[in-house]
Amino acid sequence: MKKIQMVDLQGQYQQIKEAVNTSIEQVLNTSAYINGPLVHEFQADLEKYLDVKHVIPCANGTDALQIAMMGLGLEQGDEVITADFTFAATVEVIALLKLTPVLVDVDAETYNIDIEALKRAITPKTKAIVPVHLFGQVANMDAVMEIAKEHNLFVIEDNAQAIGADYTFKDGTKKKAGTIGNVGTTSFFPSKNLGCYGDGGAIFTNDDKLAHTIRGIVNHGMYTRYYHDVVGVNSRLDSIQAGVLKAKLPLLDSYCDARRNAARFYNKALSVSEHIITPKSSACGEICDTCDCHVFHQYTLQITNGKRDDLHKHLLEQGIPNAIYYPVALHSQKAYVDARYKESDFPVTNGLIKTVISLPMHTELDNEQLTFITKTILDFVN
């Protein structure tokens, strides 16, 4: 059996080596390292894939969130609501901009923002909602958009983990994750479903005026060189990373399919245990053959018999990498502790941090590896 990797980027590279190397060589031969032709080509390709008017590449996913908020003109003290159970980057940028983060609990099945908790958190100071499409599954955007419309709020989609996922609205129409709100953001960190070989990110919008503002912000506030029209930052996707992404983008749907197939294997094998809660699809419950709302950036279980930490150690001893995303709720992090929060506000999050564990999930997993992983888990848990 091949060595099991949490993310097998080397194995994936071997399948796309020629295309990636050709793109990188093109950059080296032209020396167009910043804002070169491949950046513009990748941008156009991604706009077509997402069916969105504007993709603005940037340096990383955290910058993408910050720049999106800057572009919307949010002001100091404005409240921005987001989920308590996610990576810190989502709340980090809110605090950096001197906005007021408001953390709310998540849904027990999808781990995405809880709609009733979101409703309760809205005040006259609320200006924006940041739904996080966690682990690859799109949040309940029908409800989020309805709430935003009712209260005249911006919606900034944190799509760092769900690029390639579709959302099916109640009327049957579909949109790609990240293209539903006023603005969407993503990360191209190497381990993402669409990842480069360094850092990278992008911002999506169908709003022409907002796109124009953001294009200035990412480049020091310039539209004409040395003329600074808005306060900006230096956040650009370099040409080598764009070349890697351009080579990978045509394969994104197949990458997502491979992850879903691995998730189906995991679910079928592990759902037999009463001590394991397997991931669910918000659209169809189980992961059906046509499931497209979840792209499994992570495959995250709950271990309900109190042995999560012991399982974590046991799997590592057996050569099976795994991770706990996330061991500490954001409202409990030193940087974001706030007297407004009560532990009773976060029953689901406080439960998840004690029970979740994420298994190897990538495009190169084979049945032999999956069988070994699931058997090892079941033998230990049962």
Query: How much is the pLDDT for 313?
Result: 98
Q: How far apart are the first and last CA of the chain?
A: 24
Pure H helices in the chain: 9-30, 37-50, 61-71, 89-96, 115-121, 141-151, 208-217, 239-248, 252-270, 308-317, 347-355, 367-381
Q: How confident is the model at residue 291 (pLDDT cuts 50, 70, 90)?
A: confident
Torsion sign across C-alpha atoms 6, 10, 16, 19: positive
CA-only gyration radius of the chain, Å: 21
Rounded-to-integer distance, Cα 69 and Cα 85, Å: 20
Q: What is the mean pLDDT of the chain?
A: 96
Rounded-to-integer distance, Cα 200 and Cα 235, Å: 9
Instruction: For the chain, give the number of residues.
Output: 382
Q: Over range 359-369, report the average pLDDT.
A: 97
Residue 287 has pLDDT above 90, yes or no: no
Residue 87 has pLDDT above 90, yes or no: yes
| Per-residue pLDDT tens over the stretch 200-210 | 999 999 999 99
Query: How much is the pLDDT for 284?
Result: 67
Rounded-to-integer distance, Cα 330 and Cα 347, Å: 13
Beta pairing partners, 323:
358
Residue 305 has pLDDT above 80, yes or no: yes
Residue 119 has pLDDT above 80, yes or no: yes
Give this prediction's pTM: 0.96
Is the peptide bond between 326 and the residue preceding it cis, with omega within 30 degrees of 0?
yes
**Which positions ≥6 away from 167 have C-beta within 8 Å?**
138, 141, 174, 175, 176, 177, 180, 293
Query: How much is the pLDDT for 289?
Result: 64
Query: How much is the pLDDT for 280?
Result: 85
Residue 256 has pLDDT above 80, yes or no: yes
Q: How confident is the model at residue 106 (pLDDT cuts 50, 70, 90)?
A: very high
Q: Which of 103, 3, 63 is nearest to 330 (CA)?
A: 103
Query: How much is the pLDDT for 285?
Result: 61
Report the Cα 210 to chain-centroid distance in Å. Answer: 22
Residue 253 has pLDDT above 90, yes or no: yes
